[in-house]
Amino acid sequence: MNLTQVLGLLFGAYGLYGLSNAWIADSGTLLLRGVALLGTGAILFIAGRKKKS
């Protein structure tokens, strides 16, 4: 596991945390931010995997 993948996991975890908060608060802005963070994390994780091989 390299730094890019670790960053991707951190972004993904923070995105999931944001999505759970958005669900509780019923906030559209928090929901969009959570989805964006989750997407960024996924892109970083995948980019980290491709770079390694």
| Domain residue limits at 10 | 3-52
Write down the pLDDT at residue 39: 92
- Cα–chain-centroid distance for residue 3? 15
Number of domains the chain contains? 1
Write down the pLDDT at residue 19: 84
Helices assigned H by DSSP within the chain: 3-25, 28-52
Write down the pLDDT at residue 26: 81
| CA atoms of 8 and 45, how far apart (whole Å) | 5
Write down the pLDDT at residue 52: 54
Give the pLDDT confidence of 16-42 residue by residue, as tens digits. Answer: 888 888 878 887 788 888 899 999 999
Write down the pLDDT at residue 2: 87
Q: Which residue has the higher pLDDT, 27 or 7?
A: 7
* Contacts within 8 Å (CB) and 24+ apart, 33-39: 37/11, 37/12, 38/11, 38/12, 39/15
